[in-house]
Structure 1
């Protein structure tokens, strides 16, 4: 059966037609060869061919073979963009009409002259012969690729020019002249490139589109951050969008653009966004399942939609059970839902950048037979964390859904919050109702195994329990990479003369310098790295201590965070006690002595002068939980008794 492709479809699309939904043939399919999986097509209307790019959501059509060389397809949704002075059709949606047939016609590649030819043909077919004739007779350039006609000598009674026979015989079938889409009509004169952009799904966004608009809901908004690099100081913030098709994408603003949009954006509101640029997503910071990220510019538009769009969900989750989190890679970002069974009080923590924040630890369980530790940081501790603690203290165990939690394997597997994390307490979603039903009907008392502690039962792959004597006996730390081990030991001695050092308090980017500083001539503090002086300095722990278990004693070094975990007091406060109150200093320095800890240690051989020594550094110190340790020992006994 003969196949009739849409005549002049390529020329019409290249001229701006986006509504005809033509039938075209796929002449070729090739991968682009870029890092992202994309496919390049060559489309034909039997007369002309044009390059096209397939949207990523249609990749499965190529993989399944429904779109291949020879396929006849109908273009449903498409645009034509100019990339490096070359027209490219971006196919957003299409249907396969015939999976394969022989190549139709002998088409050639579309060129700019074809656009002029199409316009001239439209004039001829619409009866504008006299106008074209006058243009030629007045010496204006003839349209390329169209046979011209010349007035010939005529009898006196003839009044109309005779059209050249070549022109009369050249009557190709052409489509009517391109008409603007309906929403452009009757709006008065529109300047070039000022027509409203077409709203497309987030999943269809790609860098080959010249103009676009998306309608989406803000599901998360990051904090405003300031930074410092070789180009100077700056500020940045970002927010996440979700549309009615389930597509998600991150939007980022820098510097002057931050001032325009930071206060405008509200979580939960729907916006129309256009005139941004697309760049590859930075997966180190962007966890959304989209290969692109929108960067807003000074010419970008962000307009709130006056009416609520119920077709766009408030939030989109992809929950993972705790039993799967146990095998998830470190630093993965995921969604998680569970029952909160315990909430610890919020405690102040000094971060590595020298800034103090709050930390609160929760324990959660689900129906997979596992439980997990969740760490809340910053404002989440005081706002949502306090609400969770009040509920648990009152005897009600809430359901907690976590959007974008970060997996850590530092101490078993746990989940921590990041700047884009959102907490939903008792959300009205099917997963929460199912979990509540399970918990109230026996799940509350069901046994579960924690995947979060280093001392996990049955020898977790994240744990390497050792004794003090094994550090020497097994030659730990003497390879190219450090050994990370856990030791159950007692703190027996802490050097009290040099327990801290004076540190630079200045912030570089989002982190404090923390380099050791010295007194300058005017009695201020001077930092060699920052080349600045300041009146006050910071104090950071550098503890030298001994730990002991039943096999021996070893020296360890504990820096800032580990020092605070051992002594439970900031280094600056302890320094002031040493200078002004000997009794309180003695009590504070001995607070951690003869207490059993689980020490997470880094063992690495280092060079001191010309001597090689094994240095043992305390990375984390946790007071021993005897009930949990007893269960672990019973599990080990059962294991070895088999």
Structure 2
């Protein structure tokens, strides 16, 4: 029987093996008629129409074996080798080149390696805090580069120990290997949407050579006339001539700590003036220096970097922890302001945008009638309204016209908290937690006033009560309860009735229990 092998494709690159090259082979075992085993068929069918015949018998062999048969050596595969394992062998290659210095404005959280070269323009105090994770400390500093870009850098805990003593205002540093996070605009006034958080791996290198291309400070001054329309709590820069400096006074904060406050008045070419309130160390450093200069007839120029706008009784500026003051700076704006002031600006009148009562009388009066308080809904906004009215005292409540107050001093200020009698007939102050033999007496007057449009009730405390009645609360208390001279007491009250006053009022809505009421307080009373 003949088996015809169909045409096949050649796979690979086979090498022809002739009988003379082959090793001696044993005779093939007997084979019965049937298909060729698959292992043998791979040696035939390489040429078109190739034929192979088999003969039956006790032995079978290939015909024409010497001339037509092609044999191929089997392919030898190399032994299996697993892929190389680099685990725990470290990096194959490390880029030791320094990061490229880029502008602050180009920083973003998606950059892998960066560095900035900038000058420190401000350094915050070291602050300590306590939260659920325990105690901690933090400080920050502001940077300015040669392109005018600004950014704040923040350090916490162990990073504070590394860099707090290293950072100096005015020095230039190259900073790298920090992380960028969104800026917290409640505490950060810089014009940058990111903040840099330094880490233990961060690098802060001082540049030994001064770089004149980086300015020492950057300002964006606003004229005083524009501050009147600026939103409260805004942070801005302002420059002006210091025309008055008030003495420094102690202030007791809500947390029980005492600090210093000093109020200055600034004016500029815009025809407006504004109060500048200094807090804390500013009072005894720059504040004391400017007070001495004004007393000798020298009116300094002061540039305020990062002042906070307040709208309590008009618009004013106050210092915060990030504020910087520059006295008589070498700026073009300062030279222009000095030239204006010396050439006649000193004698020009200016309108104050700060309506707080200042020494010398009321300023920036907003005259209203009593009817307008209700008609215009004064006092019902988030901030109090301040107005001046011309009104006549028509009635004064004589029961509970004063209260017993604590006479103890907290710093240079009197406590004035209400006191009560203790079991041993001594006075007790819950705030000071002390007892004493005698207490003080302070006015808490309920006064009815009227003008041509209507009438209303107002409250007058100690100083304004004395301005209205003409005597102290202690004197009036002793007259009624100790001397029991009712006639003189009534006469004192009647003497101020139907007297016309120019009253400065603070109007604010307050909550009493579940009820909202508009409270009107007299902050100044001048007899007409």
TM over 0.5: yes
Alignment of 1:601 with 2:499, yes or no, is no
Task: Provide the C-alpha distance between the structure 2 equivalents of 1:548 and 1:275, rounded to a whole number of angstroms.
Answer: 68
Distance 1:478 1:335, change over 3 A: closer
Contact 1:606 1:615 in 2 (8 A): no
The alpha-carbon deviation at position 467 of structure 1 amounts to 5.8
How much has 1:486 moved relative to structure 2?
3.5
Structure 2 partner of 1:616: 519
Match of 2:147 in 1: 245
State the partner residue of 1:444. Answer: 346
- Point out the more displaced range, 492-501 or 309-318: 492-501
Bigger shift: 419-428 or 227-236?
A: 227-236
Specify which of 365, 375, 386 is matched with residue 288 of structure 2. Answer: 386
Q: Relative to structure 2, which stretch is displaced further, 369-378 or 283-292?
A: 369-378
Q: Deviation digits for residues 289-335 of structure 1, max 9, x if unmatched? A: 01101111122222222222222111111111112222211111111
- Check the 8 A contact 2:313/2:386 in 1, yes or no: no
Partner of 1:9: none
Whether 2:203 is the aligned partner of 1:301: answer: yes
Q: Which of 156, 173, 185 is the equivalent residue of 1:283?
A: 185
Instruction: Give the Cα–Cα distance (whole angstroms) in 2 for the partners of residues 404 and 292 of structure 1.
Output: 18
CA separation in 2, counterparts of 1:284 and 1:545? 40
- Candidates 308, 311, 314, aligned match of 1:406: 308
Equivalents in 1 of 2:302, 2:272: separation in Å? 16
The answer as to 2:243 corresponding to 1:341 is yes
Give the match for residue 223 of structure 2. Answer: 321
- How far apart are the structure 2 equivalents of 1:465 and 1:257? 56
Say whether residues 1:435 and 2:337 are aligned partners: yes
Query: 2:335 is paired with a residue of what secondary structure?
Result: helix
CA shift digits 1:603-627 (9 cap, x unpaired): 235346xxx4625275xx755799x
Alpha-carbon distance, 1:235 to partner = 2.1
Cα distance in 2, alignment partners of residues 309 and 438 from structure 1? 33
Query: What CA distance in whole angstroms lies between the structure 1 residues aligned with 2:226 and 2:402?
Result: 46
* CA shift digits 1:272-301 (9 cap, x unpaired): 211111001111110000110111112222
Residue 574 of structure 1 corresponds to which residue in structure 2? none
CA deviation profile, 1:588-616 (whole Å, cap 9, x unmatched): xxxxxx998734231235346xxx46252
CA distance in 2, matches of 1:566, 1:351: 25
Is contact 1:454–1:463 with CA below 8 Å preserved after alignment? Answer: no
Q: Tell me the CA shift for residue 204 of structure 1.
A: 0.9
**Shift in Å at residue 391 of structure 1?**
0.9
- 2:81 maps to 1:199: no
Contact 1:477 1:604 survives alignment (8 Å): no
Q: Is the 8 A contact 2:384 2:506 kept in 1?
A: no
Q: Which residue of structure 1 aligns with residue 159 of structure 2?
A: 257
Distance 1:407 1:376 in 2: 13
RMSD of equivalent CA atoms:
5.0
Aligned partners of 2:378 and 2:247: how far apart in 1?
A: 37
Please state whether the residue corresponding to 1:313 is helix, strand or coil.
coil
Cα distance between partner residues in 2 of 1:544 and 1:239: 48
Counterparts in 2 of 1:569-580, with a 5 A limit? none
Match of 2:446 in 1: 546
Output the TM-score relative to the length of structure 2.
0.62
Residue in structure 2 matched with residue 359 of structure 1 by the alignment:
261
The structural deviation recorded for 1:225 is 1.9
Give deviations 1:386-419, integer Å, cap 9, x for gaps. Answer: 1111111111111111111111122222111111
In the other structure, the counterpart of 1:530 is: none
Rounded to whole Å, the distance in 1 between the matches of 2:375 and 2:511 is: 13
Q: Secondary structure at the match of 2:340?
A: helix
8 Å contact kept, 1:467–1:549: no
CA distance in 1 between counterparts of 2:108 and 2:220 reads 24
Change in 2 beyond 3 A, CA 1:290/1:380: same
Contact between 2:379 and 2:507, CA under 8 Å: does it hold in 1?
no
Q: Which has the higher helix share?
A: 1
Q: How many residues align?
A: 394
Distance 1:564 1:346, change over 3 A: farther
Aligned counterparts, 1:494-509, within 5 A? 496-497=402-403, 499=405
Task: Say whether the 8 Å CA contact 2:313–2:356 is kept in structure 1.
Answer: yes
Distance 2:381 2:260 in 1: 36
Aligned equivalent of 1:312, options 214, 220, 231: 214
**CA radius of gyration, larger in:** 2
> What is the distance in 1 between the residues matched to 2:381 and 2:349?
42
Distance 1:479 1:549, change over 3 A: closer
Secondary structure, counterpart of 1:392 in structure 2: helix
Contact 1:476 1:604 in 2 (8 A): no
On the 8 A contact 1:603/1:615 being kept in 2, the answer is yes
Contact 2:447 2:460 in 1 (8 A): no
Structure 1's unaligned 5+ residue stretches are 1-135, 143-188, 457-461, 503-513, 520-524, 528-533, 568-582, 584-593, 631-642
After superposition, residues 132-151 of structure 1 pair within 5 angstroms as: none
* Post-superposition CA distance 1:99-150 (Å, at most 9, x none): xxxxxxxxxxxxxxxxxxxxxxxxxxxxxxxxxxxxx9998999xxxxxxxx
Q: Give the distance between the partners of 2:111 and 2:176, measured in 1 at CA.
A: 12
Q: Distance in 1 between matches of 2:269 and 2:152?
A: 33
Q: Quick check: 226-235 or 389-398, which moved more?
A: 226-235
Q: 1:445 to 1:251 in 2, by over 3 A?
A: same
- Partner Cα distance (2:519, 2:280) in 1: 31
Q: 1:385 to 1:191 in 2, by over 3 A?
A: farther
320, 342, 350: which one aligns with 2:252: 350
The answer for the alignment partner of 1:121 in structure 2 is none
